[in-house]
Amino acid sequence: MSDITSILIRNGDVANPEGFFKYDMAIQNGKIVAIDKSLPERAAQVLDATNKLVFPGFIDAHTHMGIPIMNTHSCDDFASGSIAAACGGVTTIGDFTVQEPGQSLRESVEIRLAKARKSHIDFALHVNVTDAPEKNLLEIPELVQSGLTAFKVFSTYRQAGMMVTWPQFRQVLKTVAENDGILCLHAEDNDLVESMTEQHVQREHFAAIYHPRSRTAEAEALAITKAAEIAGELQAPLYIVHLSSRAGLEAARAARSQGVRLYLETCPQYLALDESFYQRENGHWWITTPPLRTREDREALWQALANDEIDVVATDHCPFTIAQKEAGNGQFHLTPNGIPGVETLFPLLYTYGVTQGRISLQKLVQVLAENPARIFGLAPRKGSLQAGAEADLVIFDPQATQTIRAADLHGNADWSPYENLEIQGKIEHVFLRGNLIVENGEFVGKNIFGEHLEAQPHTASG
Ligand code: URP
Ligand code: ZN
Ligand code: ZN
């Protein structure tokens, strides 16, 4: 380390795998170069972090910036979505490619990459396999070698042309695992979902509450059971996205007890909200898939998070404006599905998890940084504060209090599912590779652009 470092963060409570400790941290050329009890004050910029918590930049492993759904697009593109993310302390997103019919996977990646270049934070791309899975298998080895190691399939959305059948799922999972990739699954049993949806629509049950009654917890559990059986036979790891229910959790538990390697992700909406939101006047705004569930489901997910059963919390950020939601004309099955969340990920988990005693601060760091970095092959570059890692960090004042208001958030949605919730603490500064992108809570990084992160292969230790 040369004598003069570019930034010295002094006297913060710094996250480390054993807990939070009073440390100084030196940053140079975008990397953390030293962390110690006391470092010499020779730096171009010194930032006093006394009484502040210092976290690694958070990773939201599940976002959908500007994706096509129901004749419209989710309303954040990579520029607006990444600004919202940064203001919420998220410095890396894992976003999904969109494979149009007839496109190769490589083409879908290149098109998505061109859009993602507008991002102001770093990003990994997860490769959606939604068309011609058999043909796509041939592309998987080359994609993994080029740093695209995460793939995703849906066991539902047949009518939108995105579903894989179970035999196709088996083939994709086998090929991804053989090439040291990791497959993500949106798990809902499509037959069950389609038959329940049809029954309700035929009876003109259009209200938002029929969304959870069509896309049931049982449909989630059934798909997890089927997928896990195949993963077990193939001895392949499998990552379940947006787990929403106790039944789904129990299906995953049963599979794990048989030795199946499952990673589980849940989202803040399943931890902070419940299906009573669908009974509100504007209940259809909360239509997201899988749906919000019961309070019992919510408590089961909190417990599972505390018990190390859930590996990752990510948002499934897929926002629509009120006008876009209204285009569904109050009919649950015609309402664009998805809600905003990337900016409120950490604040909600900190307030409703840590300050309310449901999870420890270290657990929060694991599920928002360490685990997604490890599972998606981004560690040690991302996900922890250690010498040699990239200087993505969040400086947080735990004393402040705030109220969530859509008007104060930075994405393009003109409403928030969490409007009026009280939040403990305030994100003050955020650095991306040593660049200050949020200062005193405001985004200042418009000339900073994110990098595409090439991921390491997913190993057994992942
Ligand atoms: O409703 C949602 N979550 N829309 C985005 C696509 C998905 O299923 O994750
Ligand atoms: Zn999904
Ligand atoms: Zn999603």
| Alpha carbon distance 157, 98 (integer Å) | 14
Q: What is the pLDDT of residue 1?
A: 46
Residue-by-residue pLDDT tens, the chain, 462 positions: 455 679 999 999 999 988 999 999 999 999 999 999 999 988 999 999 999 999 999 999 999 999 999 999 999 999 999 999 999 999 999 999 999 999 999 999 999 999 999 999 999 999 999 998 899 999 999 999 999 999 999 999 999 999 999 999 999 999 999 999 999 999 999 999 999 999 999 999 999 999 999 999 999 999 999 999 999 999 999 999 999 999 999 999 999 999 999 999 999 999 999 999 999 999 999 999 999 999 999 999 999 999 999 999 999 999 999 999 999 988 999 999 999 999 999 999 999 999 999 999 999 999 999 999 999 999 999 999 999 999 999 999 999 999 999 999 999 999 999 999 999 999 999 999 999 999 999 999 999 999 999 999 997 445
Q: How far is the CA of 409 from the centre of ligand 2 (A)?
A: 24
Q: How far is the CA of 340 from the centre of ligand 1 (A)?
A: 11
Q: How far is the CA of 183 from the centre of ligand 3 (A)?
A: 14
Q: What does the angle CA 411 – CA 95 – CA 58 come to, to the nearest 5 degrees?
A: 70
Q: Is the CB of 120 under 6 A from ligand 1?
A: no
Q: Is the CB of 335 under 6 A from ligand 1?
A: no
Q: What is the pLDDT of residue 17?
A: 85
| Alpha carbon distance 192, 201 (integer Å) | 14
Q: How far is the CA of 335 from the centre of ligand 1 (A)?
A: 12
Instruction: Please give the torsion angle defined by the CA atoms of residues 248, 355, 55 and 270, in that order, rounded to the nearest 10 degrees.
Output: 20
Residue of 155, 184, 289 with the most ligand 1 atoms within 8 Å of its CB, for mutation: 289
Q: Is the CB of 316 under 6 A from ligand 1?
A: yes
Cβ 343 vs Cβ 334: under 8 Å:
no
| Alpha carbon distance 389, 277 (integer Å) | 41
Q: Return the structure tokens found at 80.
A: 């607006």
Q: Return the structure tokens found at 96.
A: 């999904």
In the three-class reduction of DSSP (H, G, I as helix; E, B as strand; rest coil), residue 158 is classed as: coil
CA distances from 388 to 1, 10, 37, 122, 458 (A): 11, 18, 17, 17, 21
Q: Is the CB of 64 under 6 A from ligand 1?
A: yes
Q: Is the CB of 318 under 6 A from ligand 1?
A: yes
Q: How far is the CA of 318 from the centre of ligand 1 (A)?
A: 7
Q: Return the structure tokens found at 55.
A: 């976290």
Residues near ion ligand 2 (CB < 5 Å) are 186
Q: What is the pLDDT of residue 180?
A: 97
Q: Whose CA is nearest to atom 2 of ligand 1?
A: 338
Q: Is the CB of 337 under 6 A from ligand 1?
A: yes
Q: What is the pLDDT of residue 460?
A: 45
E strand intervals along 57-115: 58-63, 68-69, 72-73, 90-96
Q: What is the pLDDT of residue 329?
A: 86
Q: Whose CA is nearest to atom 7 of ligand 1?
A: 289
Residue of 157, 292, 316 with the most ligand 1 atoms within 8 Å of its CB, for mutation: 316
Q: Is the CB of 338 under 6 A from ligand 1?
A: yes
Q: Return the structure tokens found at 223.
A: 């798909």
- Phi, psi angle pair for 260, to nearest 5°: -75, 135
Q: What is the pLDDT of residue 459?
A: 76
Q: How far is the CA of 33 from the centre of ligand 3 (A)?
A: 36
Q: How far is the CA of 422 from the centre of ligand 3 (A)?
A: 26
